[in-house]
Amino acid sequence: MPVISSTHIVIMNLWVYGLLALWTLLGVGLSPLASGYLRLRYRWSTDRIVRHLIWLYGRGWLLLISPFIDFKRDGLGDEEVPDGCVFVINHLSFFDTYFMGALPHSDVTFAVRSWPFKMFWYRFFMRMANYLEVEEQGWQQTTEQGIQILNKGGSVLFFPEGHRSRDGQLQRFYSGAFQLAVASGRPIVPLCISGTGVLLPPGRKSLHPASVRLRILPPVSVESFQHEGGHLQLRKQVKGLMAQTLAEMSSSAESALVKGR
């Protein structure tokens, strides 16, 4: 493994945090103009517009970190990822959400806990995007709102662990995403991300260079889970698929590291 100097890390943090602040300010400043254009061009609703702008914000993030992060997305191609699905992804870092700018569709509503809504610089846009605040809304309201989004062709993304993993291993999955998928009849699309725990793990503020991989797995149909307790079986199956994929990704990364020595 190449030795990364402290100077390199300092430069990375000045570059990324500095440009991220500028990108955020620019995005906020241009959002009214961009919203007006998208409304006139596509006749989108306000929440749909804001979700697209957040997706573009993530795309910009991918560009500004590119000098320090080796990022690749693999698995399903753009045309293979269905509209109106329920995404589930493992959670390693605060910046996991930023890498969702690599998803092929911009109409993605995040289902999140309450604490992200406390960040005033994001709260307004999260409310406007109609994000699901799962801790405050409760299951019934989350389901109703989620089904409305799915019926309009949008997707909903969950972090089923509910919090960032501190050891890199999959934690216990909550059932919300799987209950919504079964209730709506929409497929689950598992996402597996690796490397963001090196970039910025819980408890650290300093960014480090990393190789980040995002793999999109084939959709899992919920047709055979339409029975009492079916969402629990679905949860178990999807978690098993993700655990196996993450193990394969880890093994491939270790093999590439050995070959690079």
pLDDT digits (tens, 9 = 90+) for 89-102: 999 999 999 999 99
pLDDT in tens, 64-82: 999 999 999 999 999 999 9
Going by pLDDT thresholds of 50, 70 and 90, the confidence category of residue 123 is confident
87 φ/ψ angles, rounded to the nearest 5 degrees: -85, 140
Whether the pLDDT of residue 202 is over 70: the answer is yes
Query: Please, which residues bridge with residue 74 across strands?
Result: 215
Global model pTM greater than 0.85: yes
Q: Which of 159, 140, 184, 153 is nearest to 48 (CA)?
A: 153
Task: Quickly state the pLDDT bin for 192 (edges 50, 70, 90).
Answer: very high
Q: How confident is the model at residue 188 (pLDDT cuts 50, 70, 90)?
A: very high
Separation of CA 93 from chain center: 10
**Per-residue pLDDT tens digits for 20-49:** 999 999 999 999 999 999 999 999 999 999
Q: pLDDT tier at 3 (50, 70, 90 boundaries)? A: low
**Whole-Å CA distances, 201 to 60, 95, 256:** 21, 9, 22
DSSP secondary structure, 122-142, as one string: HHHHHHHTT-EEHHHHHHHHH
Interatomic CA distance for residues 224 and 212, integer angstroms: 34
Residues near 9 by beta carbon (within 8 Å), at least 6 away in sequence: 206, 207, 208, 209
All domains in the chain, ordered by first residue: 6-260 (3.40.1130)
Beta partners for residue 89, in sequence order: 191
Q: What is the pLDDT of residues 126-158, one digit of tens each?
A: 888 998 887 777 778 888 999 999 999 999 999
Q: What is the pLDDT of residue 1?
A: 47
